[in-house]
Structure 1
Amino acid sequence: MKVEAASLRAFLVDDEQLAIDRLQRMLANFPEIEIAGTATDPARAVAELNDPLAQSIDVLFLDIQMPGLNGFELLSRLNVQPFVIFTTAYDQHALRAFETNAIDYLLKPIEPDHLERALHKLGRLRPVVKPDWQQDPALPELLKELTASLREGHATYPNRIASRVGERISFLPLDDVTHFIAQDKLTFAVVAGRRHCVDQTIVNLEGHLDPAKFLRIHRSALVNVDWIHEVNSWFAGKVVLTLKDAQHTQLPVARDRVRTLKDRLGI
């Protein structure tokens, strides 16, 4: 797939050189993309991007959680706001990223099809005059607020999760998610019996969601303990959960997860 635009100048910022190297290799598959520069030091990136003698860039691939300056703080110091594609290992940061009207976000490790999707979206938007938000005088203040929130570290666990259908992104309150399930190499958040595709694996979700709220009961299932209605023990030691949803969803519990489940529920 080719990006539907002329050559795009990209600048990559990530405090991990290996992450930059991998992204460069992936971008090499898109001849329309020209790498204008890279930086592992956010402060140096600010200096290069603000250099009046430097050519302007079309898109900034930007990590969020970095030492010194995080991604939001870096943006707040730029003289001109470019199109931004955030790269992050944490979904809660991706949610904050969209408050800046970013083009897209890519969860690490970046998948080739996710990168292609972001570039396709950029290729369609780039010929258009830069949207108003890029000159919005309120943007610097928003970026400062996001920076302060990130530094305070209050939101250790997210309370929403992003779900994507094509290029449409919606945000699901985690309180409403009864469980997550993996099937056919995809992961779904289930709300009121309806499945919503998410860009994370069950393993990643287990590591990023509040462990007091979400419990892995199977290699392909993560349950919201607040939605558990019954725990049923069947023959041969098999345990099945029944949820409080209208569908009375039943989820099997792996044998090696039964003890953890019972300890969590105090039974």
Structure 2
Amino acid sequence: MTGETSPLRAFLVDDEPLALERLQRLLAAFPEIQIIGAATDPTTAVATLNGSDQQPVDVLFLDIQMPGMNGFELLARLTTQPFVIFTTAFDQHALRAFETNAIDYLLKPIEPEQLERALKKLGRLRPIVKPDWQRNPALPELLRELTASLRKGHASYPNRIASRIGERIMFLPLDDVTHFTAQDKLTFAVVNGRSHCVDQTISDLERRLDPAKFLRIHRSALVNVDWIHEVNSWFAGRVALTLKDTHHTQLTVARDRVRTLKDRLGI
């Protein structure tokens, strides 16, 4: 992309405010992109994108997994189809994303190099011309099938999560994650005592992960119930958990979470 061409108009959709803010900051470094709108609510995004006063969008940065309406369902509701760059924290939907002929697929946490690669790929498509796949009358049916497939897939939930180390992406099996913890505005997945940074809040993880497996025990902690070894009651109704990891990690349970924990464990 060169400075002689007008910026590409971009719209961003992600239900995670932190992820949306991060993407906006990253895109600010690329003068070839002009952000003309953003939304954390997919319903609001559809109304805005289909609005008569909305500027034409060249590229849509779109999260795949969102509550209420996933990314494929959002696309199915648009009156015109922009180019799409999908973003998601879980890699299991990559092939489905490419089936829709998306420009690229960015795994969260998105890094500048990753974003630059996608934008270069998009730049090679100038001038922006609606490709045949966007005019294909079968596209709505394809998007409905992808939506149904994604919703069906929610029953199994993701089985691994991404953690970025420099330019490398490590995939952590969720079975190995003993707990998630939040510290200093960062979230970490802990595997055998070692912390791995993930680009999601505890609340995001609580909503997206299998509730039969991961339980919120504190505003800053989510535990894998399969790793609980002991439940220890302290004075004044306080409860602590001891995990099965080699460090015998102890986690404090918030008072308002004790009843839920005991119900889950059948005690």
TM exceeding 0.5? yes
Structure 1 residue 103 displacement after superposition? 3.6
C-alpha separation in 1, matches of 2:228 and 2:61? 41
In angstroms, what is the RMSD of aligned CA positions?
4.8
Picking from 97, 106, 119, the partner of 2:94 is 97
Residues 247 and 121 of structure 1: is their aligned pair in 2 closer, same or farther, counting only changes over 3 Å?
A: farther
Q: Map Cα deviations across residues 180-232 of structure 1 (whole Å, 9 max, x no partner).
A: 11112111111222222111111111122222211111121110111101111
Contact 2:12-2:62 within 8 A present in 1 as well: yes
> What residue in structure 2 maps to residue 84 of structure 1?
85
Residue 193 (structure 1) aligns with: 193
Partner Cα separation in structure 2 for residue 14 and residue 178 of structure 1:
31
For residues 169 and 215 of structure 1, the distance between their equivalents in structure 2, rounded to whole angstroms, comes to 26
> What is the identity, as a one-letter code, of the residue corresponding to 2:244?
K
Q: 1:14 to 1:40 in 2, by over 3 A?
A: farther
Contact 1:15 1:67 in 2 (8 A): no
Q: 1:68 to 1:219 in 2, by over 3 A?
A: closer
Please tell me whether the aligned partners of residues 189 and 198 of structure 2 are also in contact (alpha carbons under 8 angstroms): yes
Unmatched runs of 5 consecutive residues or more in structure 1: 17-21, 45-53, 108-113, 130-139
- Cα distance in 2 for residues equivalent to 1:220 and 1:40: 33
* Matching residue's letter, 1:162: I
- Equivalent-residue separation in structure 1 for 2:237 and 2:34 (angstroms): 59
> Compared with structure 1, are the counterparts of its residues 103 and 167 closer, same or farther at alpha carbon in structure 2 (3 Å cutoff)?
farther
Letter in 2 for 1:159: P
Distance 1:177 1:98, change over 3 A: farther
Query: 2:253 and 2:119 mapped to 1: Cα distance?
Result: 45
Looking at structure 2, the residues matched to 234 and 36 of structure 1 have their Cα atoms a distance apart, in angstroms, of 54
Q: How has the CA–CA distance of structure 1 residues 231 and 175 changed in structure 2, closer, same or farther, with 3 Å as cutoff?
A: same
Equivalent in the alignment of 2:259: 259
Cα distance in 2 for residues equivalent to 1:180 and 1:246:
17
Residue 70 of structure 1 aligns to a residue whose secondary structure is helix
Q: Which residue of 1 aligns with 2:172?
A: 172
**Farther off after superposition, 62-71 or 243-252:** 62-71
Question: Kindly tell me: are residues 40 and 29 of structure 1, through their superposed partners in 2, closer, same or farther at Cα, counting changes over 3 Å?
Answer: farther
The AA in structure 2 aligned to 1:207 is: R
- One-letter amino acid of the structure 2 residue matched with residue 84 of structure 1: I
Deviation at 1:72, TM superposition (A): 7.8
Q: Distance in 1 between matches of 2:202 and 2:28?
A: 30
Residue 230 (structure 1) aligns with: 230
State how far apart, in whole Å, the 2-side matches of 1:219 and 1:167 are.
30
Q: From 99, 122, 147, give the equivalent of 2:118.
A: 122
- Does 2:23 correspond to 1:9? no
| 1:104 partner letter | L
Match of 1:70 in 2: 73
Code of the residue aligned with 2:73 in structure 1: it is N
How far off is 1:161 after superposition?
Answer: 3.8
Asked whether the 8 Å contact 1:103–1:118 carries over to 2, the reply is no
Q: Letter of the aligned partner of 1:62 in structure 2?
A: L
Distance 1:100 1:249 in 2: 39
Aligned partners of 1:10 and 1:61 also within 8 Å: no
Give, in whole Å, the separation in 2 of the partners of 1:160 and 1:68: 20
Kindly tell me: are residues 61 and 245 of structure 1, through their superposed partners in 2, closer, same or farther at Cα, counting changes over 3 Å? same
Native 8 Å contact 1:160 1:171 kept in 2: no
| Inter-CA distance 248–128: structure 2 relative to 1 (3 Å threshold) | farther
